[in-house]
Amino acid sequence: MSSRRKFLSDCGVLAGGAGFSYLTLGNTYWHEISKTKGKSSGLTLRFKPYDLHLKHVFTIAEGSRTSTPVMLTEIEFDNIIGYGEASMPPYLGESHETATAFLGRIDLAQFASPFLMEDILSYVDKLVPGNYAAKASVDIALHDLVGKLMKQPWYKIWGLNPARTPDISYTIGMDKPEVVRLKVKEAAPYKILKVKLGKGNDKEMIETVRSETDKPICVDINQGWTDRSKALEMAHWLKDMGVVFIEQPMSKDDFDNTAWLTQNSPLPIIADEAFQTMGDFRKVQGVYSGVNIKLMKCGGLRSAYVMIKMARALDMKVMIGCMTETSCAVTAAAQLSPLVDWADLDGNLLIDNDIFKGILIKDGKIVLPDAPGIGISKNNI
Ligand code: MG
């Protein structure tokens, strides 16, 4: 048995599930779900696993890696295809196997029209708990499809001003000083740098970056700090070094000490690992100054849009972030960027096998493509 067939077999895909088949396109397999018992609407979901290659070994407080598994999705209706993506860094608990199992359960052909987005995405959301990246891949593909059918990009459908896109930050992972200096040079087109800290060499990292540039910096601790007094001391030092906010300084479960830090910190404290879905506002309100919303954490654009509105209602800062992703998911998230304070949408720039073209960066700002749907086209690689 080939490794691909073994993979499909392991996932139960070859077991003859209802309406489940797979297509060969080039050297890769797309799993296709297009049939339902009785009448079919012609709404077809396809998906295939893909691995993103990182340009640099990516090191954060939780570990290092050189690739990220993603699932590419397509929803087709009336010969028009919407594209989506699930990015699944290992620490979030999803994988090619879990996404294949989840997506294999979805029957979109039961819906009469792709415009029934609330019905379709509520059905997908309720199918199984969790699986937020896999859910996001369906949500993004459906938004892309519906935008294409309406012949408009989503920022226009939402009534957002493309001139209000924020500066985008470029991520610099932990590394030796010479590599950090190289990465700062690579970040020349960007006006804000996002520096990963939390492994004990924080001051060395910031001083190295500062030896190359005086651009504003935001820092992501990825839960790496454990002592609130030291955290406050660092917050003051970082402010003096030109840092503008601190993301997830302490454990996602340490609400008391984080609330104390937020009350006393001269810099805003943003929740990332502590904040995933709408229900988490109950936990982070009064504990953090703002939230980092990511499509892969919350299940896609439909949730992210509502969560931005909710954060504003609670007078919280909003950042939109990403995982390592192709331009597909990054450009989808960018459609919402006129609504946020900070955009950390550089996941596509960290990989060397992006199969899509989408947002561009001009003068450090996101330029939203004037193209329908989520605004992407396919790269030939
Ligand atoms: Mg983060």
How many angstroms separate the alpha carbon of residue 272 from the centre of ligand 1? 5
- Indicate the CATH number of 3-151 among 3.30.390.30, 3.30.390.10, 3.30.43.10, 3.10.20.90: 3.30.390.10
Hey, where are the domains in the chain?
3-151, 156-378
- 287-290: list long-range contacts, CB under 8 Å, 24+ apart: 287/255, 287/258, 287/259, 287/262, 288/258, 288/262, 288/316, 289/245, 289/262, 289/316, 289/317, 290/245, 290/316, 290/317, 290/318, 290/319, 290/341
Cα(20) to ligand 1 centroid in Å equals: 37
Whether the model clears a pTM of 0.85, i.e. scores above it, the answer is yes
Give me ligand 1 centre to Cα 304, in Å.
Answer: 16
Task: Give the CA distances from residue 44 to residues 31, 74, 83, 108, 157, in Å, rounded to whole numbers and listed in that order.
Answer: 11, 8, 12, 7, 24
- Whole-number Å distance, alpha carbon 16 to ligand 1 midpoint, is 40
Contacts 24+ apart (CB under 8 A), 212-215: 212/181, 212/184, 212/185, 213/184, 213/187, 214/242, 215/190, 215/191, 215/242
Centroid of ligand 1 to alpha carbon of 248 (angstroms): 7
Q: Which pLDDT does position 5 carry in this prediction?
A: 43
Distance of CA 256 from the midpoint of ligand 1 (Å): 20
Expressed in angstroms and rounded, the spacing between residue 34 Cα and the centre of ligand 1 is 37
Q: Cα(222) to centroid of ligand 1, in Å?
A: 6
**Interatomic CA distance for residues 375 and 302, integer angstroms:** 16
Distance 339 CA to ligand 1 centre (A): 19
Sequential DSSP letters for 98-110: HHHHHHTT--GGG
pLDDT at 16: 35
Distance 253 CA to ligand 1 centre (A): 15
Question: In this predicted structure, what is the pLDDT of residue 15?
Answer: 34
- Tell me, what's the pLDDT at 19? 52
Sign of CA pseudo-dihedral 133, 55, 26, 149: positive
pLDDT of residue 350: 86
Distance 145 CA to ligand 1 centre (A): 30
**Which pLDDT value is given to residue 56?**
79
CATH superfamily of 156-378: Enolase-like C-terminal domain (3.20.20.120)
Under-70 pLDDT residues of the chain: 1-28, 34-40, 60-62, 381
